[in-house]
Structure 1
Amino acid sequence: MPSLYSTLYTAYTLLTLPVRLLSWWLYYIPKSNRPNPAWSWKTAVTLQIIILVIRYRTVTRYRTPKSLEPGPDGDRFIVVNPQFTISNLNPNANLEIKSDSESESESPVYKGTLTSVPAVEPLPVGAAWFPSTPRQPPKRLIIHFHASAYVLFGPRPSDGTGWGPTSFSEISEWPLLSVQYRLSLDADKTFPAAVQDGLTVYIYALEVLKIPASQIVFSGESAGGNLILALLRYITEENAVIPLPRCALLWSPWVDMTHRSLERMVAHRNYRSDYIEYGLGVWGASAYIPPGWEDDHPFLSPLVSERNLRLSVPLFIEVGTSEVLYDDILEFAGQMKKNGTEVEVREAINGVHATFGVACNLGMLEVAVEGHVCAAKFIARIEEKLKE
């Protein structure tokens, strides 16, 4: 049941909504009043509505409904079960491989850091196809992780997050599978639950769909980008028998969830021109980080810990010039380049956080589509390099 405070806050939000809408409509008519003068009136007003919705869900600790039932998404929604053995091994790995007869607790798939929180175990995970269900098993695949702060939203078309995945799938001409990874709304869903789910879908693509790793691309928005970096770190440092994907696309990745970084957000020059607020960051970080863990752990805050990590997976990183994580993301990209990782950075001019998917609502279609085109060219360029 909702608490008394949540009930009162809901009533307050609803009662004041008409006045807020009217004030925003009037206040943002002059360009000088808009958070970014280059924005349209629609973008400025819609941003405030998005902020209001996210702030409401943050204050009331809204629980995004999750189900493994297809519901209105029909056959576009699938359920993937964890697989505890793997045959499609990395041919370059020089490690001892455990046999299929060994116990699940000794699985060559889930081990090390991914089994470091006893309450968190691999479970079936849902996923949604974009733009539609393939008629036959695809020969290549984008595995996508939606934005969430690890506490909100979902991957389904019915979750309202379908424009970005659909647009990017159509532009790149790659089928896309968006993962319904676990949100950290309960004690048994902290890290590494979401990373386990990402690995489950990746192994499904390798083992069941029989797609070569070189024909798989990771894509992730915000927390989804954070998830990808944890997954790549896990494979690189702890489980090299699993082959790495062709490349990874990070759309406004969350690279630092330390409390120090969250406090800096409030004073950032872009704080008024983005919908990411301190309260959401605190909720997401506190929910996702397991009890007793430091917030600068390498699997949580890659900006703090990537100084010595080199990835053999090329990275495409998009960052909005009006987003509050702008400086963190550019610093992270610079660190990775310095370490020898191939990195391409694309700045979405006047874009907010995770423009990839939210642009449709904000009236920033051209900015987002340009990013989709750049990422599609990046994927193709990496393929050409692999052929050389």
Structure 2
Amino acid sequence: MAPSLSLIFGLVTLPLKLLYLTLQFYTVGTVFTNATAKKSLVKTLHNGLCQHMGCALRVQDLQLAYVPVSKLLLSMSKSLGRLPGFNEKYTDKEDFICESRWLTKNIDSKESPIVLYFHGGCFAIQMLDNQAQGMANLYEAYKLRYGVDLSILVADYSLTPLGYTYPTQYNEAVSLYEKLVADGYTKIVIMGDSAGGNLVLNILNYLHKRSKHQDVVWPVASIAISPYLNLSKQEFSGSFKRFDKVDFFNYAMTSYLGNVYIGGDEFLHASPVVNIELNSDKVDWKNIAPIKEGNLLVQFGDHEVLTDEILRWCEQAELTKNHPENIAIDIDGVHIGFFITESVAYGDIESWLNQYCANSILTFLKRKLE
């Protein structure tokens, strides 16, 4: 299989994009005005790289580039191999569950804190090294600041370029959470960015529906970073239009990969699992226990294309009204800034943990894991 013409064009024009950004960085400034990005050419160029190449990717390119989480982590062994339990397998891929790997494993008892992480990527893009690095940083920073070793489990859920469309990813996420519960773990944090944030909210809704008929084990904390709420139906208006040239995530990318996720089935536009915010009237979000009790953190940038739908959902779920402290807005930040901006060329852990996104996650976890 050959790469798409779109990808080839993107690669050919990439040097010009990066040169243009470099000249802007040292003169008039770039569109990436976040305080963290403005201080670093490397961070700025990384934002530009993601912005430029994201639009160029097609399903065939993602098939060619696919690397499972196990191989990604293996390739990072030199820098991350010191982590306890690094790259150990927890589950194999089966009918309704995905493979999962420990990024860090520190389990002394069934009450040891476990962060179950779902990576983003429109359900089409594999976990990337900046996401693995960001989660490794979270482990090291939490240990440094609070003296606690977190276990971090990475879900390697099935991707659309490999032929897996909705509801595969949803089923796998729910099943993996249930597997942890069945194994007796009681102190589970669920965390995800972008499409992974969508899975986090859908797990909460799944547990809410089950709780009406039986006892459930709720996560002690939930973190949705730039949650990709409306997967298959967007309009080029509002924040999608305002930040189209500012954010690396954009309308063209979301509409293309969102349609791939639903397999072109327009009836799924009405699904509250696929399009969470658009169909929020079908879910009693405000009465879902972790949301009502303040155990959900929503973090996003105010310069990302998803800003408007995230803000609307926070209003609909009454998070804005009841727990505004759990809405962390990264000023001038782009989509998943925790990974794209803060976890690239981050320096040392002491400086990394004081950045806005990292600090808001660390302090939230501390409150909920005490």
TM-score scaled by structure 1? 0.75
Match 1:30 to one of 27, 30, 34: 27
Q: What are the within-5 Å matches in structure 2 for residues 240-259 of structure 1?
A: 241=214, 242-259=216-233
1:78 partnered with 2:89: yes
Aligned partner of 1:18 in structure 2 is 15
1:302-381 aligned at under 5 Å gives the runs 302-307=276-281, 308-309=284-285, 310-313=287-290, 314-337=295-318, 342=323, 344-359=326-341, 360-361=343-344, 369-381=355-367
Give, in whole Å, the separation in 2 of the partners of 1:246 and 1:32. 42
Please name the residue that 2:178 is paired with.
203
CA-CA distance at 1:338 after TM superposition: 6.4
Shift, 1:264, TM fit? 2.5
Q: Single out whichever of 341-350 and 173-182 deviates more from structure 2.
A: 341-350
Q: Which whole-Å CA distance do the structure 2 matches of 1:355 and 1:368 have between them?
A: 14
Distance 1:167 1:205, change over 3 A: same
Compute the displacement of 1:56 (Å).
Answer: 2.7
Tell me the percent identity.
19
Partner of 1:134: 106
Is it true that 1:295 corresponds to 2:276 in the alignment?
Answer: no
**Matched residue, 2:136:** 166
Does structure 2 conserve the Cα–Cα contact (< 8 Å) formed by 1:205 and 1:211? yes
Q: 1:25/1:293 Cα in 2 relative to 1: closer, same or farther (>3 Å)? A: same
CA distance in 2: counterparts of 1:160 and 1:186, whole angstroms: 22
Q: Counterpart of 2:154 in structure 1: which amino acid?
A: S
User: Which piece of structure 1 moves more, 174-183 or 14-23?
Assistant: 14-23
Alpha-carbon offset, residue 225 of structure 1: 0.6
CA distance in 2, matches of 1:378, 1:300: 27
Distance in 1 separating the partners of 2:240 and 2:251: 10
Amino acid corresponding to residue 222 of structure 1 in structure 2: S
Deviation at 1:153, TM superposition (A): 2.3
Following superposition, the deviation at residue 150 of structure 1 comes to 0.8
Residue 180 of structure 1: how far off its partner (Å): 0.7
User: Which stretch of the first structure deviates more once superposed, 261-270 or 239-248?
Assistant: 261-270
- Contact kept, 8 Å, 1:312 with 1:341, in 2: the verdict is no
- Cα gap change, 1:336 to 1:29, in 2 (>3 Å): same
**Relative to structure 1, is the Cα distance of residues 322 and 40 closer, same or farther in structure 2, using a 3 angstrom cutoff?**
farther
Is the 8 Å Cα contact of residues 116 and 191 (structure 2) preserved in structure 1? yes
Q: In the comparison of the two structures, how many residue pairs are matched?
A: 334
Report the CA distance shift for 1:76/1:133 in structure 2 as closer, same or farther (over 3 A): farther
CA distance in 1, matches of 2:362, 2:101: 20
Is the 2:100–2:156 contact (alpha carbons within 8 Å) kept by the matching residues of 1?
A: yes
Give the conservation status (yes or no) of the 8 Å contact 1:356–1:368: no
- Deviation of the 1:251 alpha carbon: 0.6
User: What do the CA deviations read for 1:253-306 (whole angstroms, capped 9, x no partner)?
Assistant: 1112242x2423685322222100222202221122253533131111221233
- Alignment RMSD: 3.2
Moved more, 222-231 or 364-373: 364-373
User: Deviation digits for residues 80-105 of structure 1, max 9, x if unmatched?
Assistant: 1589xxxxxxxxxxxxxxxxxxxxxx
Q: Say whether the 8 Å CA contact 1:146–1:223 is kept in structure 2.
A: yes
Q: 2:153 aligns with which of 154, 177, 182?
A: 177
For 1:184, the aligned partner's letter is T
- Map residues 276-287 of structure 1 onto 2, 5 A cutoff: 276-287=249-260
Query: Following TM superposition, by how much is the alpha carbon of 1:52 offset from its aligned partner in structure 2, in angstroms?
Result: 2.1
Amino acid at match of 2:250: E
> What is the CA–CA distance in structure 1 between the aligned matches of 2:15 and 2:222, rounded to whole Å?
43
Q: 1:101 matched to which residue of 2?
A: none
In structure 1, distance between residues paired with 2:338 and 2:69: 26
Using the size of structure 2 for normalisation, the TM-score is: 0.78
- Asked if residue 65 in structure 1 is aligned to residue 75 in structure 2, the reply is no
Residue 143 of structure 1 deviates from its aligned partner by 0.5
Alignment of 1:89-238 (within 5 A): 121-123=95-97, 125-130=98-103, 132-134=104-106, 139-154=112-127, 159-172=129-142, 173=148, 174-187=150-163, 189-208=164-183, 210-212=184-186, 215-238=187-210
Give the drift of 1:145.
Answer: 0.8
Partners of 1:381 and 1:79 lie apart in 2 by: 28
* Distance change >3 Å, CA 163–CA 68, structure 1 → 2: closer
Task: Output the CA distance in 2 between the equivalents of 1:154 and 1:37.
Answer: 24
Aligned partner of residue 379 in structure 1, secondary structure: helix
Q: Distance in 2 between matches of 1:322 and 1:357?
A: 15
**Alignment partners' CA distance in 2, 1:358 and 1:337:** 29
Q: Determine the C-alpha separation between the residues in 2 that align with 1:282 and 1:368.
A: 35
Unpaired stretches in structure 2, ≥5 consecutive residues: 143-147
- Work out which of the two has the higher radius of gyration on C-alpha atoms and give 1 or 2: 1
Structure 2 vs 1, CA of residues 18 and 342 (structure 1 numbering), >3 Å: closer, same or farther?
A: closer
Deviation at 1:372, TM superposition (A): 2.7
| Gap change, CA 1:202 and 1:341, over 3 Å in 2 | farther
- Residue 50 of structure 1 corresponds to 50
CA distance in 2, matches of 1:375, 1:295: 32
Kept in 1: contact 2:46–2:340 (CA 8 A): no
1:234, 1:339 → 2: CA distance? 22
Deviates more, 1:72-81 or 1:342-351: 72-81
Cα offsets for 1:67-125 (capped at 9, x unmatched):
48668268514141589xxxxxxxxxxxxxxxxxxxxxxxxxxxxxxxxxxxxx414x2
Structure 1 residue 182 displacement after superposition: 1.1
